[in-house]
A and B are shown apart, each in its own frame.
Chain A
Amino acid sequence: MKRSFGAKSAIYAILVVWSLVVLFPLYTMVVNSVKRQRDIFRNPFIPPWPLTFEGFTSAWQDGRFDLYFRNSIFVTVVSLLLIVFLGSMASYALANWRSKWSTFIFILFVAGLMIPIRLGTINIFQIVQSLNLIDNVFGLLPVYIAMGLPISVFVLTSFIRTIPHELIDAAHVDGASEWRIYWSIVLPLLRPAIATVIIFNLIPIWNDLWFPLIFIRSEEQRTVILGVSMLFGQYQSNWTRILSALSLSAIPILILYILMSKQFIKGLTAGAVKG
């Protein structure tokens, strides 16, 4: 459709202004994280000079963000692996098993898309405590897996149903077991759907504050976001360090996002829409 010059300019003006509104706080965060305290206050918006990385080193070493990163990566990777593995197994069964039970189980899983797990926090806390996993990153794993399974089952079941049946029947004729068919035929075909499931769960798990805040007490078990949540109490006056820690926690996700923005947008939106 042809548009007038005026209409086009208006479109660009709105998008550019909003982009600046989005980028300005992020720019302020990153630029000031490498400034000295007094430069932060005197000139918050100019590019940093002289550069200082003391905020990053002190957050990484004294602030134990090295530890927090290790914990967060562990929790996120293990949860995602199990969400994908257990979710795809369940989906394979749900896509093939014809019975009223499978319909019921499918609806049970899908109901979890609409109901926030936080409402069950009190009992989850009791369960994790009776398992002796309070104040332990391992205690977060089952919660995150349970939280990720509904979307995983929903996306993967729909995807498996689109796999041509001849492929699986041929394997049956060759005498392959269901496990073998799942593992060496279905699972490799699921790759694009698995990417969606991973992206959809990666962000909420990595960014979660609620469960670490409630479950974790000691420093050795903290996740990155829980570490960030302690910043204001501890280093109230050291702005270089606060901004460094904020940047540190945001940059890995930002890089990942910029590298794969198309998949991120698709995954997160698909996940949300299917709710």
Chain B
Amino acid sequence: MTTISAPQAPSQVRPNRYKDRRRLTWILFLLPALLIYLGFMAAPLINSLGLSFYTGAGLRPEKFVGFANYQELLTNPLWRDRFLNALRNTIIFFTIHMLVQNTLGLLFAVLLASGIKGHSFFRTIIFIPATLSVLVIGFLWRLILNPQWGAVNKLLDAAGLGFLARPWLGDPGLILIIISLVSVWQWVGLPTMMYLAGLLTIPDELTEAARVDGANAWQTFWRIKIPLLIPVIGIVAVLTFVGNFNAFDIVYAMAGARGDPKYAADLMGTFFYRTAIAGEHPVARPDMGIGAAVAGVTFVILLVGVTFWLVGSRQRDYEL
């Protein structure tokens, strides 16, 4: 994490006799925040991962079973098929975000940075959906895509594309793509703003010099702007990654907790919700141990992804 550095020492050295008393003061300043943060975020995370090594009915599994929950998750067909399906869907969900959302975001950022009139107006509009609740967005699109009402189908009809009309969310082959695109529609403003901020820090002299040397806009973009944007691209990728592997609301709103039809839109987030909280078919009772194992697998996936990014940005720092 290149942007993070340890707290700097105050510029002046203070007299020693204050030291002990001041340390006590600082601890008192830190304590309330630290207790809440440790008690409700750090410790629960570790304890939840610890729970993945226990089994038992109800809320507090007490029997230690080692890696049995993970083994169960990966080998018992009852869990395995759902788990691999959710993992595969999440990877598709993430891939669509990387390809569509982050490319569109870059495109919009470049257009907004070109200094056209009204750029702040367009910027405001592009960002609107990101401020709204995922659930509300999901419901809204579910209504618009509903064949009974058929707002989208009616639009297609009017455009002479009536043959394309279909029950969008009822088709197992389409629903995951549709849900991913709705999510892209909602979040594209975030990468747009990050790329825009990145583009605006590139000094004009640099692009101007390239232009004088005879580079066209396309070459300037690929040879100068993109290399300078690589740190931002990295941050966008890692944020998309972490967000997508925790996505839940959008599927819950548009396809229910199971990602119907036929689990076609089931993600790691919804799978975790069912195993740990709501109960998975056909058991219909939450299994905290297995649920914790699902969270554990997600955690490891995130850890690997974020480590990759950290190592990557470290190396780049050394190279520069």
Q: Closest CB-CB distance, B124 to chain A, in whole Å?
A: 5
- Does B16 count as interface, using CB distance less than 8 angstroms? no
CB 8 Å contact bits of B180-201 with A (1 = contact, 0 = none): 0000010001100110010000
> In the complex the two chains form, what is the Cα distance from A98 to B239 in whole Å?
32
- Does A116 count as interface, using CB distance less than 8 angstroms? yes
Q: Which residues of A contact B106 (CB under 8 A)?
A: none
CB 8 Å contact bits of A53-86 with B (1 = contact, 0 = none): 0000000000000000000000000000000001
Task: Tell me whether B185 and A21 are in contact (CB under 8 A).
Answer: yes
Q: Which residues of A contact B175 (CB under 8 A)?
A: none
> In the complex the two chains form, what is the Cα distance from A239 to B126 in whole Å?
27
Task: Tell me whether A90 and B246 are in contact (CB under 8 A).
Answer: no
- Does B156 count as interface, using CB distance less than 8 angstroms? no
> In the complex the two chains form, what is the Cα distance from A96 to B14 in whole Å?
11
Q: Closest CB-CB distance, A202 to chain B, in whole Å?
A: 9
> For B43, B48, B299, which residue has the most chain A Cβ atoms within 10 angstroms?
B48
> In the complex the two chains form, what is the Cα distance from A117 to B41 in whole Å?
6
Q: Closest CB-CB distance, B277 to chain A, in whole Å?
A: 6
* CB-contacts of A102-128 with B (<8 A): 102-103, 105-110, 112, 114-127
Q: Closest CB-CB distance, A170 to chain B, in whole Å?
A: 12
- Does B107 count as interface, using CB distance less than 8 angstroms? yes
Closest to B52 in A: A122
**Total B residues in contact with A, Cβ cutoff 8 Å:** 97
Q: A122-B48, A129-B59 are in contact. Are A106 and B6 (CB under 8 A)?
A: yes
Q: Which residues of B contact A116 (CB under 8 A)?
A: 242, 246, 302
Task: Tell me whether A11 and B41 are in contact (CB under 8 A).
Answer: no
Closest to A8 in B: B116
> For A96, A127, A161, which residue has the most chain B Cβ atoms within 10 angstroms?
A96
CB 8 Å contact bits of B266-301 with A (1 = contact, 0 = none): 000100100011000000000010011001001100
Interface stretch (choices B32-40, B70-78, B93-101, B164-172): B32-40
Q: Closest CB-CB distance, B198 to chain A, in whole Å?
A: 9
Q: Which residues of B contact A258 (CB under 8 A)?
A: 124
Q: A15-B108, A90-B30 are in contact. Are A120 and B133 (CB under 8 A)?
A: no
Task: Tell me whether A19 and B133 are in contact (CB under 8 A).
Answer: no
Task: Tell me whether B126 and A127 are in contact (CB under 8 A).
Answer: no
Selected from A115, A127, A275, the residue in CB contact (under 8 A) with B302 is: A115
Q: Which residues of A contact B60 (CB under 8 A)?
A: 126
Q: A129-B59, A268-B190 are in contact. Are A239 and B26 (CB under 8 A)?
A: no
10 pairs from A and B in contact (CB 8 Å cutoff): A1-B115, A94-B30, A118-B272, A119-B45, A146-B41, A154-B4, A228-B135, A250-B133, A264-B127, A269-B190
- Interface residues, chain B, CB within 8 Å of chain A? 1, 3-4, 6-12, 22-23, 25-27, 29-30, 32-34, 36-37, 39-49, 51, 59-60, 104, 107-108, 111-112, 114-116, 120, 122-136, 139-141, 143-144, 149, 151, 154, 185, 189-190, 193-194, 197, 211, 232, 235, 238-239, 242, 246, 248-249, 252-253, 269, 272, 276-277, 288, 291-292, 295, 298-299, 302, 306
List the 6 shortest-distance A-B pairs measured between CB atoms, nearest first: A120-B44, A146-B40, A93-B29, A207-B133, A123-B44, A90-B33
